Structure 1
Amino acid sequence: MHIFNFGGSRRISFSSTTSEAERLQVFKEPGYSFIGMHCLFDSCKASVTVVKFGHLSSDLLAYGASDGSLIVCRVAEPPSILHQLKGHSKDVTDFDFSSNNQYISSSSMDKSVRVWDIGKGHCIRVVYGTALQLCIRFHPVNNNFLLVGNAHKEITVINFSTGRIIRKLALESEVTAIDTDHTGQFIFAGDSQGCIHSIKVNSHTGALSRTHRNYRGVKHKAPTTTVLFRTFSLLARGPVLLTCTKDGSLSFFSVALEVGGYLTLRCSLMLAPRAWNIQASFCPLLSLEKGEFIVSGSEDSNVYFYDLTRPKHPCVNKLQGHGSPVIGVAWNHGENLLASSDSDGVVIVWKRAKMEG
Protein backbone atom coordinates (compact mmCIF):
# COMPACT_ATOMS: atom_id res chain seq x y z
CA MET A 1 0.00 0.00 0.00
CA HIS A 2 1.39 3.38 -0.98
CA ILE A 3 0.22 6.91 -0.26
CA PHE A 4 2.21 9.69 -1.84
CA ASN A 5 1.97 13.21 -0.47
CA PHE A 6 3.46 15.67 -2.92
CA GLY A 7 2.86 18.84 -0.93
CA GLY A 8 2.34 20.75 -4.15
CA SER A 9 5.87 20.02 -5.35
CA ARG A 10 4.88 17.96 -8.35
CA ARG A 11 3.87 20.22 -11.21
CA ILE A 12 1.17 19.44 -13.72
CA SER A 13 1.69 19.39 -17.46
CA PHE A 14 -0.75 21.16 -19.75
CA SER A 15 0.81 20.19 -23.09
CA SER A 16 -1.56 19.02 -25.80
CA THR A 17 -0.33 15.68 -27.09
CA THR A 18 -3.41 13.45 -26.92
CA SER A 19 -6.24 12.61 -29.27
CA GLU A 20 -8.82 14.57 -27.26
CA ALA A 21 -6.57 17.61 -27.11
CA GLU A 22 -5.91 17.44 -30.83
CA ARG A 23 -9.63 17.77 -31.42
CA LEU A 24 -10.26 20.40 -28.74
CA GLN A 25 -8.02 23.45 -28.58
CA VAL A 26 -7.13 24.29 -24.97
CA PHE A 27 -7.81 27.79 -23.63
CA LYS A 28 -6.47 27.99 -20.09
CA GLU A 29 -8.98 29.29 -17.55
CA PRO A 30 -7.32 30.96 -14.50
CA GLY A 31 -10.15 29.89 -12.19
CA TYR A 32 -9.35 26.23 -12.87
CA SER A 33 -5.56 26.33 -12.55
CA PHE A 34 -3.89 23.75 -10.32
CA ILE A 35 -0.60 23.94 -8.45
CA GLY A 36 0.08 20.20 -8.34
CA MET A 37 -0.86 16.86 -6.85
CA HIS A 38 -1.86 16.97 -3.20
CA CYS A 39 -1.60 13.20 -2.73
CA LEU A 40 -1.94 9.90 -4.56
CA PHE A 41 -3.44 6.56 -3.48
CA ASP A 42 -2.40 3.42 -5.36
CA SER A 43 -3.37 0.62 -2.97
CA CYS A 44 -6.13 -0.65 -5.26
CA LYS A 45 -5.22 -3.36 -7.78
CA ALA A 46 -8.36 -2.99 -9.89
CA SER A 47 -10.09 -0.21 -11.82
CA VAL A 48 -11.46 2.50 -9.54
CA THR A 49 -14.95 2.96 -10.95
CA VAL A 50 -16.28 5.67 -8.62
CA VAL A 51 -14.71 8.28 -6.32
CA LYS A 52 -16.46 10.74 -3.98
CA PHE A 53 -15.79 13.08 -1.09
CA GLY A 54 -17.96 12.91 2.01
CA HIS A 55 -21.09 15.02 2.38
CA LEU A 56 -20.03 18.65 2.96
CA SER A 57 -16.53 17.35 3.66
CA SER A 58 -13.17 18.64 2.48
CA ASP A 59 -11.24 15.75 4.02
CA LEU A 60 -13.17 12.46 3.84
CA LEU A 61 -12.74 10.56 0.56
CA ALA A 62 -13.85 7.13 -0.61
CA TYR A 63 -13.47 5.13 -3.79
CA GLY A 64 -14.93 1.87 -5.08
CA ALA A 65 -13.34 -0.60 -7.48
CA SER A 66 -14.09 -3.36 -9.94
CA ASP A 67 -12.78 -6.01 -7.52
CA GLY A 68 -15.57 -5.18 -5.06
CA SER A 69 -13.41 -3.20 -2.64
CA LEU A 70 -14.45 0.12 -1.11
CA ILE A 71 -11.71 2.23 0.46
CA VAL A 72 -12.22 5.16 2.85
CA CYS A 73 -9.46 7.76 3.26
CA ARG A 74 -8.60 11.12 4.72
CA VAL A 75 -6.73 13.60 2.56
CA ALA A 76 -5.77 16.11 5.27
CA GLU A 77 -2.11 16.16 6.28
CA PRO A 78 -0.94 13.47 6.46
CA PRO A 79 -3.19 11.60 3.99
CA SER A 80 -4.20 8.15 5.24
CA ILE A 81 -6.41 5.16 4.52
CA LEU A 82 -8.99 4.66 7.27
CA HIS A 83 -10.70 1.45 6.15
CA GLN A 84 -10.73 -1.08 3.34
CA LEU A 85 -14.34 -2.23 3.28
CA LYS A 86 -14.61 -5.74 1.86
CA GLY A 87 -17.83 -7.64 1.23
CA HIS A 88 -18.86 -7.13 -2.38
CA SER A 89 -17.73 -9.97 -4.65
CA LYS A 90 -17.98 -7.97 -7.89
CA ASP A 91 -17.67 -4.38 -9.15
CA VAL A 92 -18.78 -1.55 -6.91
CA THR A 93 -21.01 0.40 -9.29
CA ASP A 94 -21.83 3.33 -7.01
CA PHE A 95 -21.87 4.49 -3.40
CA ASP A 96 -23.11 7.42 -1.35
CA PHE A 97 -22.38 9.01 2.01
CA SER A 98 -25.15 9.63 4.52
CA SER A 99 -25.75 13.28 5.40
CA ASN A 100 -23.72 12.97 8.63
CA ASN A 101 -20.97 10.87 6.97
CA GLN A 102 -21.56 8.10 9.50
CA TYR A 103 -22.56 5.56 6.85
CA ILE A 104 -21.80 4.62 3.26
CA SER A 105 -24.31 2.77 1.10
CA SER A 106 -22.96 0.88 -1.91
CA SER A 107 -24.37 -0.94 -4.94
CA SER A 108 -22.66 -3.72 -6.84
CA MET A 109 -22.66 -6.04 -9.81
CA ASP A 110 -22.97 -8.88 -7.27
CA LYS A 111 -26.68 -7.89 -7.03
CA SER A 112 -26.39 -6.63 -3.46
CA VAL A 113 -26.69 -3.33 -1.64
CA ARG A 114 -24.57 -2.85 1.46
CA VAL A 115 -24.52 -0.24 4.21
CA TRP A 116 -21.25 0.36 6.05
CA ASP A 117 -20.50 2.02 9.37
CA ILE A 118 -17.54 4.27 8.55
CA GLY A 119 -16.39 4.69 12.14
CA LYS A 120 -16.29 0.95 12.83
CA GLY A 121 -15.23 -0.01 9.33
CA HIS A 122 -17.63 -2.88 8.83
CA CYS A 123 -20.87 -3.76 7.04
CA ILE A 124 -24.06 -3.40 9.08
CA ARG A 125 -26.68 -4.22 6.45
CA VAL A 126 -26.84 -6.36 3.29
CA VAL A 127 -29.82 -6.37 0.94
CA TYR A 128 -29.67 -9.10 -1.70
CA GLY A 129 -31.47 -8.48 -4.98
CA THR A 130 -32.16 -10.42 -8.15
CA ALA A 131 -30.66 -7.84 -10.52
CA LEU A 132 -27.39 -5.97 -10.92
CA GLN A 133 -27.53 -2.94 -8.60
CA LEU A 134 -26.21 -0.05 -10.70
CA CYS A 135 -26.60 3.21 -8.74
CA ILE A 136 -27.53 4.36 -5.24
CA ARG A 137 -28.30 7.45 -3.15
CA PHE A 138 -29.36 8.17 0.40
CA HIS A 139 -32.52 10.25 0.37
CA PRO A 140 -31.19 13.74 1.28
CA VAL A 141 -33.95 14.50 3.80
CA ASN A 142 -34.89 11.03 5.05
CA ASN A 143 -31.61 9.11 5.31
CA ASN A 144 -33.60 6.02 6.32
CA PHE A 145 -34.44 5.62 2.63
CA LEU A 146 -31.98 4.23 0.09
CA LEU A 147 -32.81 4.96 -3.56
CA VAL A 148 -31.41 2.29 -5.88
CA GLY A 149 -31.44 1.84 -9.66
CA ASN A 150 -31.02 -1.66 -11.08
CA ALA A 151 -30.69 -3.69 -14.27
CA HIS A 152 -34.31 -4.88 -13.99
CA LYS A 153 -35.37 -1.39 -15.13
CA GLU A 154 -36.47 -0.42 -11.62
CA ILE A 155 -35.91 2.20 -9.00
CA THR A 156 -36.36 0.71 -5.55
CA VAL A 157 -36.73 2.42 -2.19
CA ILE A 158 -35.11 0.42 0.61
CA ASN A 159 -35.74 1.02 4.30
CA PHE A 160 -32.25 1.38 5.75
CA SER A 161 -33.34 0.23 9.24
CA THR A 162 -35.08 -2.97 8.16
CA GLY A 163 -33.36 -3.72 4.85
CA ARG A 164 -36.75 -4.19 3.19
CA ILE A 165 -37.75 -2.88 -0.22
CA ILE A 166 -40.79 -0.70 0.43
CA ARG A 167 -41.40 0.80 -3.03
CA LYS A 168 -40.63 0.02 -6.67
CA LEU A 169 -41.06 1.98 -9.88
CA ALA A 170 -40.61 0.36 -13.30
CA LEU A 171 -38.96 2.26 -16.15
CA GLU A 172 -38.35 1.27 -19.78
CA SER A 173 -34.61 0.58 -19.49
CA GLU A 174 -31.89 -0.24 -16.97
CA VAL A 175 -31.39 2.56 -14.45
CA THR A 176 -27.68 3.41 -14.64
CA ALA A 177 -27.30 6.74 -12.77
CA ILE A 178 -29.39 8.75 -10.31
CA ASP A 179 -29.35 11.88 -8.20
CA THR A 180 -31.88 13.85 -6.17
CA ASP A 181 -32.68 17.52 -5.78
CA HIS A 182 -31.65 19.19 -2.51
CA THR A 183 -35.18 19.02 -1.06
CA GLY A 184 -35.59 15.30 -1.74
CA GLN A 185 -38.79 15.89 -3.71
CA PHE A 186 -37.39 14.52 -6.98
CA ILE A 187 -35.20 11.73 -8.26
CA PHE A 188 -33.48 12.28 -11.61
CA ALA A 189 -32.70 8.91 -13.16
CA GLY A 190 -30.62 8.22 -16.26
CA ASP A 191 -31.17 4.95 -18.09
CA SER A 192 -29.25 2.69 -20.47
CA GLN A 193 -30.81 4.45 -23.49
CA GLY A 194 -29.66 7.91 -22.44
CA CYS A 195 -33.09 9.12 -21.30
CA ILE A 196 -33.48 11.17 -18.12
CA HIS A 197 -36.56 10.58 -15.96
CA SER A 198 -37.93 13.06 -13.42
CA ILE A 199 -39.61 11.17 -10.58
CA LYS A 200 -41.55 12.55 -7.63
CA VAL A 201 -40.71 10.93 -4.29
CA ASN A 202 -42.57 11.18 -1.00
CA SER A 203 -40.00 11.61 1.77
CA HIS A 204 -42.37 10.11 4.37
CA THR A 205 -43.73 7.04 2.59
CA GLY A 206 -41.19 6.54 -0.20
CA ALA A 207 -43.96 6.56 -2.81
CA LEU A 208 -42.67 7.17 -6.36
CA SER A 209 -44.47 8.69 -9.35
CA ARG A 210 -43.13 9.63 -12.77
CA THR A 211 -43.53 13.21 -13.93
CA HIS A 212 -41.39 13.69 -17.07
CA ARG A 213 -39.05 11.86 -19.44
CA ASN A 214 -36.43 13.72 -21.47
CA TYR A 215 -34.78 12.46 -24.66
CA ARG A 216 -33.13 15.72 -25.70
CA GLY A 217 -29.36 15.92 -25.87
CA VAL A 218 -28.99 12.23 -26.78
CA LYS A 219 -27.96 11.62 -30.39
CA HIS A 220 -27.45 7.90 -29.96
CA LYS A 221 -28.91 5.45 -27.49
CA ALA A 222 -26.16 5.09 -24.92
CA PRO A 223 -26.05 4.40 -21.17
CA THR A 224 -26.08 7.37 -18.82
CA THR A 225 -22.92 7.44 -16.69
CA THR A 226 -23.52 10.67 -14.75
CA VAL A 227 -26.57 12.47 -13.36
CA LEU A 228 -25.78 15.41 -11.05
CA PHE A 229 -28.12 18.04 -9.63
CA ARG A 230 -27.00 21.53 -8.59
CA THR A 231 -29.16 24.10 -6.84
CA PHE A 232 -27.99 27.12 -8.84
CA SER A 233 -26.36 28.06 -12.13
CA LEU A 234 -25.36 31.48 -13.43
CA LEU A 235 -26.62 30.58 -16.90
CA ALA A 236 -29.96 29.11 -15.83
CA ARG A 237 -30.44 31.39 -12.79
CA GLY A 238 -31.83 28.40 -10.97
CA PRO A 239 -31.33 24.65 -10.45
CA VAL A 240 -29.58 22.60 -13.13
CA LEU A 241 -28.79 19.01 -14.03
CA LEU A 242 -25.62 17.66 -15.64
CA THR A 243 -25.72 14.36 -17.53
CA CYS A 244 -23.07 12.33 -19.30
CA THR A 245 -23.63 9.36 -21.59
CA LYS A 246 -21.30 6.69 -22.90
CA ASP A 247 -21.49 8.00 -26.47
CA GLY A 248 -19.58 11.09 -25.27
CA SER A 249 -22.53 13.44 -24.85
CA LEU A 250 -22.41 16.02 -22.03
CA SER A 251 -25.73 17.79 -21.46
CA PHE A 252 -26.68 20.68 -19.22
CA PHE A 253 -30.36 21.16 -18.31
CA SER A 254 -32.27 23.78 -16.36
CA VAL A 255 -34.68 22.19 -13.88
CA ALA A 256 -38.19 23.48 -13.19
CA LEU A 257 -38.90 21.98 -9.77
CA GLU A 258 -42.24 23.78 -9.67
CA VAL A 259 -43.28 21.91 -12.86
CA GLY A 260 -42.57 18.37 -11.76
CA GLY A 261 -38.82 18.55 -12.33
CA TYR A 262 -39.21 19.41 -16.01
CA LEU A 263 -35.87 19.57 -17.84
CA THR A 264 -34.91 22.08 -20.55
CA LEU A 265 -31.66 21.54 -22.45
CA ARG A 266 -29.51 24.68 -22.18
CA CYS A 267 -26.25 23.54 -23.77
CA SER A 268 -24.39 20.37 -24.67
CA LEU A 269 -21.06 19.06 -25.91
CA MET A 270 -20.32 15.97 -27.99
CA LEU A 271 -17.03 14.21 -27.29
CA ALA A 272 -15.69 10.90 -28.58
CA PRO A 273 -17.60 7.71 -27.62
CA ARG A 274 -16.19 5.88 -24.59
CA ALA A 275 -15.52 2.23 -23.82
CA TRP A 276 -15.39 2.99 -20.08
CA ASN A 277 -18.14 4.52 -17.94
CA ILE A 278 -16.43 7.92 -17.85
CA GLN A 279 -18.02 10.34 -15.38
CA ALA A 280 -18.26 14.13 -15.17
CA SER A 281 -18.92 16.73 -12.49
CA PHE A 282 -19.80 20.39 -12.10
CA CYS A 283 -16.89 22.74 -11.45
CA PRO A 284 -16.93 25.28 -8.60
CA LEU A 285 -19.03 28.35 -9.24
CA LEU A 286 -16.78 31.36 -9.84
CA SER A 287 -18.59 34.67 -9.50
CA LEU A 288 -16.44 36.34 -12.14
CA GLU A 289 -16.96 33.66 -14.77
CA LYS A 290 -19.93 33.54 -17.14
CA GLY A 291 -19.49 30.06 -18.58
CA GLU A 292 -20.78 26.69 -17.44
CA PHE A 293 -17.71 24.70 -16.47
CA ILE A 294 -17.57 20.96 -15.95
CA VAL A 295 -14.75 18.47 -15.40
CA SER A 296 -14.59 15.01 -16.93
CA GLY A 297 -12.36 11.99 -17.12
CA SER A 298 -11.23 10.67 -20.49
CA GLU A 299 -9.82 7.57 -22.11
CA ASP A 300 -6.60 9.34 -23.10
CA SER A 301 -5.59 9.43 -19.39
CA ASN A 302 -6.24 13.15 -18.89
CA VAL A 303 -8.69 15.14 -16.78
CA TYR A 304 -10.44 17.77 -18.91
CA PHE A 305 -12.21 21.01 -18.02
CA TYR A 306 -14.87 22.23 -20.43
CA ASP A 307 -16.98 25.34 -20.79
CA LEU A 308 -20.23 24.10 -22.30
CA THR A 309 -21.07 27.62 -23.53
CA ARG A 310 -18.06 27.60 -25.90
CA PRO A 311 -19.05 25.01 -28.53
CA LYS A 312 -16.12 25.80 -30.86
CA HIS A 313 -13.37 25.79 -28.22
CA PRO A 314 -14.85 24.19 -25.09
CA CYS A 315 -11.66 22.85 -23.47
CA VAL A 316 -10.29 25.37 -20.95
CA ASN A 317 -7.74 23.20 -19.14
CA LYS A 318 -6.52 19.66 -18.58
CA LEU A 319 -4.52 17.73 -15.99
CA GLN A 320 -1.95 15.09 -16.91
CA GLY A 321 -0.69 12.55 -14.40
CA HIS A 322 -2.67 9.34 -14.86
CA GLY A 323 -1.30 6.48 -16.91
CA SER A 324 -4.62 4.94 -17.96
CA PRO A 325 -8.23 5.99 -18.71
CA VAL A 326 -9.62 8.39 -16.09
CA ILE A 327 -13.05 7.18 -14.97
CA GLY A 328 -14.21 9.12 -11.90
CA VAL A 329 -13.91 12.77 -10.83
CA ALA A 330 -15.13 14.55 -7.68
CA TRP A 331 -14.61 17.86 -5.85
CA ASN A 332 -14.36 18.25 -2.10
CA HIS A 333 -16.71 20.61 -0.27
CA GLY A 334 -14.11 23.36 -0.04
CA GLU A 335 -13.66 23.07 -3.83
CA ASN A 336 -9.89 23.35 -3.48
CA LEU A 337 -9.25 19.63 -4.08
CA LEU A 338 -10.26 17.49 -7.05
CA ALA A 339 -10.04 13.69 -6.94
CA SER A 340 -9.73 11.58 -10.09
CA SER A 341 -9.54 7.80 -10.47
CA ASP A 342 -8.31 5.56 -13.26
CA SER A 343 -8.53 2.05 -14.66
CA ASP A 344 -5.17 1.07 -13.11
CA GLY A 345 -6.51 1.64 -9.59
CA VAL A 346 -4.81 4.99 -8.98
CA VAL A 347 -6.58 7.91 -7.27
CA ILE A 348 -4.97 11.35 -7.55
CA VAL A 349 -6.05 14.30 -5.42
CA TRP A 350 -5.18 17.57 -7.19
CA LYS A 351 -4.83 20.93 -5.45
CA ARG A 352 -6.45 23.93 -7.09
CA ALA A 353 -4.60 27.25 -7.09
CA LYS A 354 -6.02 30.04 -4.96
CA MET A 355 -7.61 32.84 -6.94
CA GLU A 356 -6.05 36.24 -6.45
CA GLY A 357 -8.23 38.96 -5.05
Structure 2
Amino acid sequence: MWNLKTGKLIHTLSGHSDDVKAIAFSRDGKTLASASWDKTVKLWDVETGKILRVFEHSDAVRTVAISPNGQILVSGCQDGKVIIWQMTSGKLNIPLAAHNQAVSSVAFSADGQTIASGSYDQTIKLWNFQTGQLLHTLQGHQKAIYSVAFSADGQTLASGSADTTIKIWRLSNENVTSILPRPIPIMISKPSN
Protein backbone atom coordinates (compact mmCIF):
# COMPACT_ATOMS: atom_id res chain seq x y z
CA MET A 1 0.00 0.00 0.00
CA TRP A 2 1.17 3.48 -0.87
CA ASN A 3 0.76 6.94 0.63
CA LEU A 4 -0.68 8.98 -2.25
CA LYS A 5 0.61 12.31 -0.93
CA THR A 6 4.24 11.25 -0.47
CA GLY A 7 4.45 8.31 -2.87
CA LYS A 8 6.03 6.25 -0.10
CA LEU A 9 5.32 2.61 0.59
CA ILE A 10 3.19 2.11 3.73
CA HIS A 11 2.82 -1.70 3.88
CA THR A 12 3.64 -4.76 1.86
CA LEU A 13 0.98 -7.31 2.71
CA SER A 14 2.28 -10.87 2.63
CA GLY A 15 0.26 -13.95 3.36
CA HIS A 16 -0.93 -15.53 0.13
CA SER A 17 0.85 -18.56 -1.30
CA ASP A 18 -0.11 -17.91 -4.94
CA ASP A 19 -1.05 -15.04 -7.29
CA VAL A 20 -3.26 -12.27 -5.93
CA LYS A 21 -5.93 -11.78 -8.60
CA ALA A 22 -8.04 -8.94 -7.15
CA ILE A 23 -8.26 -6.51 -4.24
CA ALA A 24 -11.06 -4.33 -2.86
CA PHE A 25 -11.21 -1.66 -0.16
CA SER A 26 -14.10 -1.20 2.24
CA ARG A 27 -15.82 2.15 1.75
CA ASP A 28 -14.28 3.52 4.98
CA GLY A 29 -10.80 2.53 3.77
CA LYS A 30 -9.98 0.60 6.96
CA THR A 31 -10.21 -2.90 5.49
CA LEU A 32 -8.78 -4.48 2.34
CA ALA A 33 -9.86 -7.82 0.85
CA SER A 34 -7.53 -9.81 -1.41
CA ALA A 35 -8.56 -12.69 -3.68
CA SER A 36 -5.97 -15.29 -4.59
CA TRP A 37 -5.25 -18.28 -6.73
CA ASP A 38 -4.39 -20.00 -3.40
CA LYS A 39 -8.16 -20.55 -2.87
CA THR A 40 -8.53 -17.86 -0.20
CA VAL A 41 -9.77 -14.35 0.34
CA LYS A 42 -7.88 -12.56 3.07
CA LEU A 43 -9.24 -9.58 4.98
CA TRP A 44 -6.55 -7.10 6.07
CA ASP A 45 -6.44 -4.25 8.59
CA VAL A 46 -5.10 -1.39 6.47
CA GLU A 47 -3.50 0.47 9.38
CA THR A 48 -1.59 -2.46 10.87
CA GLY A 49 -1.20 -4.69 7.78
CA LYS A 50 -2.42 -7.68 9.80
CA ILE A 51 -4.76 -10.39 8.53
CA LEU A 52 -8.16 -10.11 10.20
CA ARG A 53 -9.83 -13.15 8.65
CA VAL A 54 -9.29 -15.82 6.00
CA PHE A 55 -12.17 -17.08 3.84
CA GLU A 56 -11.42 -20.56 2.47
CA HIS A 57 -12.71 -21.58 -0.98
CA SER A 58 -12.82 -24.86 -2.91
CA ASP A 59 -11.15 -23.34 -6.00
CA ALA A 60 -9.04 -20.37 -7.04
CA VAL A 61 -10.60 -16.97 -6.31
CA ARG A 62 -10.51 -14.49 -9.20
CA THR A 63 -12.47 -11.51 -7.87
CA VAL A 64 -13.77 -9.90 -4.69
CA ALA A 65 -16.00 -6.98 -3.64
CA ILE A 66 -17.08 -5.47 -0.32
CA SER A 67 -20.62 -4.19 0.22
CA PRO A 68 -21.12 -0.43 0.67
CA ASN A 69 -21.94 -0.93 4.38
CA GLY A 70 -18.76 -2.99 4.91
CA GLN A 71 -20.65 -6.00 6.31
CA ILE A 72 -20.75 -8.37 3.33
CA LEU A 73 -18.01 -9.73 1.08
CA VAL A 74 -18.68 -11.44 -2.23
CA SER A 75 -16.13 -13.57 -4.07
CA GLY A 76 -16.08 -15.09 -7.55
CA CYS A 77 -14.23 -18.31 -8.27
CA GLN A 78 -12.59 -20.24 -11.06
CA ASP A 79 -15.22 -23.00 -10.68
CA GLY A 80 -18.07 -20.60 -11.56
CA LYS A 81 -19.30 -20.05 -7.99
CA VAL A 82 -20.22 -16.73 -6.44
CA ILE A 83 -19.99 -16.82 -2.65
CA ILE A 84 -21.54 -14.35 -0.22
CA TRP A 85 -19.86 -14.04 3.22
CA GLN A 86 -20.50 -12.12 6.43
CA MET A 87 -17.31 -10.14 7.02
CA THR A 88 -17.50 -9.77 10.78
CA SER A 89 -18.20 -13.41 11.62
CA GLY A 90 -16.59 -15.04 8.59
CA LYS A 91 -19.77 -17.08 8.19
CA LEU A 92 -20.61 -18.38 4.75
CA ASN A 93 -23.94 -16.81 3.87
CA ILE A 94 -24.81 -18.16 0.45
CA PRO A 95 -22.79 -20.17 -2.08
CA LEU A 96 -24.24 -19.74 -5.57
CA ALA A 97 -23.60 -22.17 -8.43
CA ALA A 98 -23.68 -19.10 -10.61
CA HIS A 99 -21.88 -19.69 -13.89
CA ASN A 100 -20.70 -22.51 -16.17
CA GLN A 101 -17.17 -21.08 -16.32
CA ALA A 102 -14.89 -18.87 -14.19
CA VAL A 103 -16.32 -15.77 -12.53
CA SER A 104 -14.05 -12.89 -13.50
CA SER A 105 -15.73 -9.92 -11.84
CA VAL A 106 -18.24 -9.14 -9.08
CA ALA A 107 -19.71 -5.82 -7.97
CA PHE A 108 -22.27 -4.46 -5.51
CA SER A 109 -24.89 -1.90 -6.45
CA ALA A 110 -24.60 1.40 -4.54
CA ASP A 111 -27.48 0.44 -2.23
CA GLY A 112 -25.81 -2.92 -1.54
CA GLN A 113 -28.93 -4.90 -2.48
CA THR A 114 -27.80 -6.32 -5.83
CA ILE A 115 -24.67 -8.20 -6.83
CA ALA A 116 -23.54 -8.46 -10.45
CA SER A 117 -21.26 -11.28 -11.57
CA GLY A 118 -19.52 -11.48 -14.94
CA SER A 119 -18.07 -14.69 -16.31
CA TYR A 120 -16.07 -16.38 -19.01
CA ASP A 121 -19.41 -18.03 -19.95
CA GLN A 122 -20.33 -14.69 -21.63
CA THR A 123 -23.15 -13.87 -19.18
CA ILE A 124 -23.75 -11.34 -16.46
CA LYS A 125 -26.01 -12.38 -13.62
CA LEU A 126 -27.77 -10.10 -11.17
CA TRP A 127 -28.44 -11.48 -7.68
CA ASN A 128 -30.42 -10.42 -4.63
CA PHE A 129 -27.67 -10.42 -2.01
CA GLN A 130 -30.08 -11.14 0.89
CA THR A 131 -31.60 -14.30 -0.59
CA GLY A 132 -29.17 -15.33 -3.31
CA GLN A 133 -32.07 -15.29 -5.78
CA LEU A 134 -31.13 -14.85 -9.43
CA LEU A 135 -32.86 -11.69 -10.65
CA HIS A 136 -31.69 -11.50 -14.28
CA THR A 137 -29.24 -13.01 -16.75
CA LEU A 138 -27.83 -10.53 -19.27
CA GLN A 139 -26.45 -11.91 -22.53
CA GLY A 140 -24.96 -10.17 -25.52
CA HIS A 141 -21.20 -10.39 -25.29
CA GLN A 142 -19.53 -12.74 -27.77
CA LYS A 143 -16.54 -13.63 -25.57
CA ALA A 144 -15.58 -13.78 -21.89
CA ILE A 145 -16.67 -10.94 -19.63
CA TYR A 146 -13.77 -9.48 -17.65
CA SER A 147 -15.35 -6.63 -15.72
CA VAL A 148 -18.67 -5.40 -14.34
CA ALA A 149 -19.42 -2.10 -12.56
CA PHE A 150 -22.57 -0.34 -11.32
CA SER A 151 -23.18 3.38 -11.73
CA ALA A 152 -23.48 5.44 -8.54
CA ASP A 153 -27.29 5.50 -8.80
CA GLY A 154 -27.47 1.71 -9.30
CA GLN A 155 -29.62 2.07 -12.41
CA THR A 156 -26.90 1.29 -14.93
CA LEU A 157 -24.39 -1.54 -15.22
CA ALA A 158 -21.35 -1.56 -17.49
CA SER A 159 -19.61 -4.74 -18.66
CA GLY A 160 -16.30 -5.15 -20.46
CA SER A 161 -15.43 -8.17 -22.55
CA ALA A 162 -12.76 -9.93 -24.57
CA ASP A 163 -15.02 -9.23 -27.57
CA THR A 164 -13.62 -5.65 -27.44
CA THR A 165 -16.94 -4.10 -26.37
CA ILE A 166 -18.26 -2.32 -23.34
CA LYS A 167 -21.98 -2.74 -22.89
CA ILE A 168 -24.08 -0.29 -20.92
CA TRP A 169 -27.16 -1.93 -19.42
CA ARG A 170 -30.05 0.23 -18.19
CA LEU A 171 -31.34 -1.89 -15.30
CA SER A 172 -34.58 -0.04 -14.64
CA ASN A 173 -36.08 -1.24 -17.92
CA GLU A 174 -33.70 -4.15 -18.62
CA ASN A 175 -32.61 -2.81 -22.01
CA VAL A 176 -29.18 -1.97 -23.30
CA THR A 177 -28.99 1.80 -23.70
CA SER A 178 -25.75 1.79 -25.70
CA ILE A 179 -23.08 -0.60 -26.87
CA LEU A 180 -19.48 0.46 -27.44
CA PRO A 181 -17.80 0.30 -29.93
CA ARG A 182 -20.04 -1.77 -32.23
CA PRO A 183 -23.66 -2.94 -31.83
CA ILE A 184 -24.50 -6.65 -31.64
CA PRO A 185 -27.76 -8.43 -30.74
CA ILE A 186 -28.46 -8.92 -27.05
CA MET A 187 -30.74 -11.12 -24.98
CA ILE A 188 -32.09 -10.62 -21.47
CA SER A 189 -33.78 -13.39 -19.57
CA LYS A 190 -35.46 -13.65 -16.20
CA PRO A 191 -35.27 -16.93 -14.31
CA SER A 192 -38.36 -19.08 -14.69
CA ASN A 193 -40.29 -19.54 -11.46
Please give the TM-score of this superposition, normalised by the length of structure 2.
Answer: 0.76
* Unaligned runs of at least 5 residues, structure 1: 1-156, 233-237, 257-261, 287-291
- Equivalent of 1:219, from 42, 58, 78? 58
2:66 is aligned with 1:229: yes
Larger RCO (CA under 8 A, 6+ residues apart): 1
Give the distance between the partners of 1:293 and 1:229, measured in 2 at CA: 12
- Equivalent of 1:249, from 59, 67, 81? 81
Q: 1:213 to 1:320 in 2, by over 3 A?
A: closer
2:42 paired residue number = 197
Aligned-partner SS, 1:166: coil
- Equivalent of 1:321, from 140, 143, 157? 140
Q: Is the 8 A contact 2:101 2:119 kept in 1?
A: no
Q: 1:302 to 1:166 in 2, by over 3 A?
A: closer
CA deviation after TM superposition for structure 1 residue 285, in Å: 4.4
1:135 paired residue number = none
1:240 paired residue number = 72
Q: 1:352 to 1:163 in 2, by over 3 A?
A: same
The amino acid of 1:329's aligned partner reads: V
2:160 is aligned with 1:341: yes
2:94 is aligned with 1:267: yes
2:181 paired residue number = none
Give the distance between the partners of 2:68 and 2:170, measured in 1 at CA: 25
Give the distance between the partners of 1:317 and 1:329, measured in 2 at CA: 14
Give the distance between the partners of 1:294 and 1:349, measured in 2 at CA: 16
How many residues get paired? Answer: 171
2:11 is aligned with 1:183: no
Alignment of structure 1 residues 101-180 onto 2, 5 Å = 157-173=1-17, 174-180=19-25
Q: Looking at CA atoms only, which structure, 1 or 2, has the larger radius of gyration? A: 1
2:112 is aligned with 1:280: no
* Unaligned runs of at least 5 residues, structure 2: 174-193
Aligned-partner SS, 2:92: strand
The two structures, once aligned, show a CA RMSD in angstroms of 2.6
Alignment of structure 1 residues 69-88 onto 2, 5 Å = none
2:51 paired residue number = 210
Runs (4+) of structure 1 exceeding 6 A deviation are none
Aligned-partner SS, 2:120: coil
The amino acid of 2:93's aligned partner reads: R
Q: 1:168 to 1:285 in 2, by over 3 A?
A: closer
Please give the TM-score of this superposition, normalised by the length of structure 1.
Answer: 0.43
Give the distance between the partners of 1:337 and 1:297, measured in 2 at CA: 15
The amino acid of 2:52's aligned partner reads: T
CA deviation after TM superposition for structure 1 residue 209, in Å: 1.5
The amino acid of 1:230's aligned partner reads: S
